[in-house]
Amino acid sequence: MGQAVDGRKARGERRRQELIEATLRVIERDGVAGVTHRTVAREAGVPTTSTTYHFSSLDDLLIATLTWCADGFAVAVRDLVERARIRGSQGAREVAEMMVEALGPHRGRTMAEYELYLFAARRPGLRPAARLWLDVLTSLVQHDDEVAFRAFLAGIDGLLVQGLIDDDPPSLQDLQPVVAYLMRPSRP
């Protein structure tokens, strides 16, 4: 009998995950304003009752989506740090490579994540989930200078937003020198 319960729980977790991923696709296509229980259910190919069963409110669904994105970002940052360590690099190339991916092949998803992240500014209930992005970075990236690190993060955010509004995504050659500049040691 315990296995039947575990099976139902696993199916429920899979369904939640499908709904979260469908939410991000809806945001990518239609923006946050396009997210309703109905549009997410349609995107996931499930009845609307499934979305309301797993997420009683849209905020619950958006919080879960933000959290999932932050968790995925944590994995990407861990991989980036490991690649830099293996290469014996300071990380500028790896950060620039990640940005090229985010602004090229993953442009739509990056735009959706930024839109969702910024939407949290208008919805106080979403703000803790949105702050997970910064928590991830500060927990995974060693830094000695808090001011320099915050300036670096602001610079990366700015480059990503600029890249999203450009007609053509920036190249590794465009981004790497700017990232290296942002990563340079601060001077007294």
- CB neighbour class for 19 (10 Å; exposed up to 12, middle 13-18, buried from 19): buried
Instruction: Tell me the C-alpha distance between 186 and 147, whole Å.
Output: 9
Mean predicted confidence (pLDDT) in 49-62: 95
For residue range 104-141, list pLDDT tens digits in order: 999 999 999 999 989 999 989 889 888 887 887 777 77
> Mean pLDDT of all residues in the chain?
89
For residue range 73-98, list pLDDT tens digits in order: 888 888 888 888 898 888 899 999 99
pLDDT of residue 171: 96
pLDDT of residue 107: 96
For the record, the structure tokens of 57 come out as: 């409110």
Instruction: Tell me the C-alpha distance between 34 and 14, whole Å.
Output: 23
pLDDT of residue 47: 95
pLDDT of residue 4: 53
pLDDT of residue 49: 95
For residue 119, which amino acid is it? F
Instruction: Tell me the C-alpha distance between 114 and 21, whole Å.
Output: 15
Tell the residue number behind the tokens 């927990």, with chain if given: 139
pLDDT of residue 80: 86
CB-based contact 76:126 (threshold 8 Å) = no
For residue range 23-45, list pLDDT tens digits in order: 999 999 999 999 999 999 999 99
pLDDT of residue 65: 95
Mean predicted confidence (pLDDT) in 41-55: 96
pLDDT confidence bin for 186, thresholds 50/70/90 = low
